[in-house]
């Protein structure tokens, strides 16, 4: 474990080689999110989004010392009583994460509970660790969940899965989540880093402009904001790009393309 994680702290941001990694870093508290952690996450998201060199964001957790790893035990509900906080403040985190420019990956290396499940859903792609569980206890606590979180659940889990999550509060296993199509892969501890690195490298190999514009279009469609003219305009931009010319040349020459994002 790096010295950056020697002491518990707000989430830690590291940027290198076009990849930003944000690590939740309160393992002794099962990475429960305090209001200060939410503020730090929002600041990290802003920094990542403004850094044009970043093409992939990986969200993961420090699970050192956990007999059964926990990615995040959810939002510290004691924070509800702090002025200006509570669920309305919390939902800014997944909402902002869902709108980021880079491709976002949740490397879900432990079980996840409560509001943290929506943070996972806000990522574009997910890999999961074998043996973890997922539970949404909102109704068991007497809470109606916030609108954008419900929308993400229905979008990612489907109606039946969302109803099971909220109307039974029963946990999901990694295998159940995989059967629902939530994960790109479910990995063992031994293969975890290799699985994560392979997904990141596959994304980095794609044309940056095409990925960025396609992500924007897919997000708009999911939100019910389908605008054919806008989508066709993005298609025109990419079809006239240097990256598309390079992609065609590389295909014809049977080599790997070298994209520049232009």
Quick: pLDDT tens for 13-62.
999 999 999 999 999 999 999 999 999 999 999 999 999 999 999 999 99
Total number of domains constituting the chain: 2
pLDDT at 143: 92
Q: Is residue 129 domain-shared with residue 189, that is, in the same domain? A: yes
Q: Is residue 72 domain-shared with residue 191, that is, in the same domain? A: yes
Q: Is residue 44 part of a domain?
A: yes
pLDDT at 215: 96
CATH number for the domain that contains residue 102: 3.90.226.10
pLDDT at 77: 73
Reading the block at residue 236, the tokens are 């025109």
Q: Is residue 258 part of a domain?
A: no
Residues with pLDDT less than 70, the chain = 1-3, 78-87
Distance CA 234, CA 217 (A): 9
Contact indicator for 186, 129 with CB cutoff of 8 Å: yes
* Strand pairing class (19-25; 103-108): unpaired
pLDDT at 89: 87
Q: Is residue 259 part of a domain?
A: no
Q: Is residue 127 part of a domain?
A: yes
CA angle 54, 60, 63 (to 5 degrees): 150
Q: Is residue 11 domain-shared with residue 85, that is, in the same domain? A: yes
Q: 48-65: per-residue pLDDT in tens?
A: 999 999 999 999 999 999
Q: Is residue 151 part of a domain?
A: yes
Nearest CA among 110, 137, 112, 131 for reference residue 122: 112
pLDDT at 81: 62
Running DSSP on this structure, what letter comes out for residue 15? E
Q: Containing domain of residue 224, as a range?
A: 208-253
Helix or strand or coil: residue 185?
strand
Q: Is residue 132 domain-shared with residue 218, that is, in the same domain? A: no
Q: Is residue 213 domain-shared with residue 130, that is, in the same domain? A: no
């Amino acid at each position: 474990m790096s010295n950056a994680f020697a002491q518990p702290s707000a989430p830690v941001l590291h940027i290198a080689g076009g990849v930003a990694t944000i690590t939740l870093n309160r393992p002794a508290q099962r990475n429960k999110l305090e209001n200060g952690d939410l503020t730090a996450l929002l600041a990290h998201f802003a920094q990542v989004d403004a850094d044009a060199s970043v093409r992939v964001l990986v969200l993961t957790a420090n699970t050192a010392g956990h007999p059964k790893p926990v990615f995040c035990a959810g939002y510290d509900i004691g924070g509800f009583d702090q002025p200006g906080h509570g669920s309305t403040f919390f939902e800014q985190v997944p909402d902002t994460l869902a709108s980021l420019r880079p491709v976002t990956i949740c490397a879900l290396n432990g079980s996840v509970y409560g509001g943290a499940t929506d943070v996972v859903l806000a990522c574009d792609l997910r890999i999961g660790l074998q043996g973890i569980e997922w539970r949404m206890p909102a109704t068991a606590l007497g809470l109606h969940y916030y609108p954008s979180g419900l929308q993400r659940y229905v979008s990612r889990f489907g109606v039946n899965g969302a109803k099971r999550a909220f109307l039974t509060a029963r946990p999901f296993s990694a295998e159940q989540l995989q059967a629902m199509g939530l994960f790109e892969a479910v990995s063992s501890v031994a293969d975890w880093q290799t699985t994560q690195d392979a997904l990141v490298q596959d994304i980095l190999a794609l044309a940056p402009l095409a990925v960025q514009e396609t992500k924007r279009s897919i997000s708009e469609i999911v939100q019910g904001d389908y605008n054919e003219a806008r989508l066709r305009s993005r298609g025109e931009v990419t079809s006239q790009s240097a990256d598309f010319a390079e992609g065609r040349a590389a295909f014809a020459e049977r080599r790997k393309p070298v994209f520049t994002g232009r």
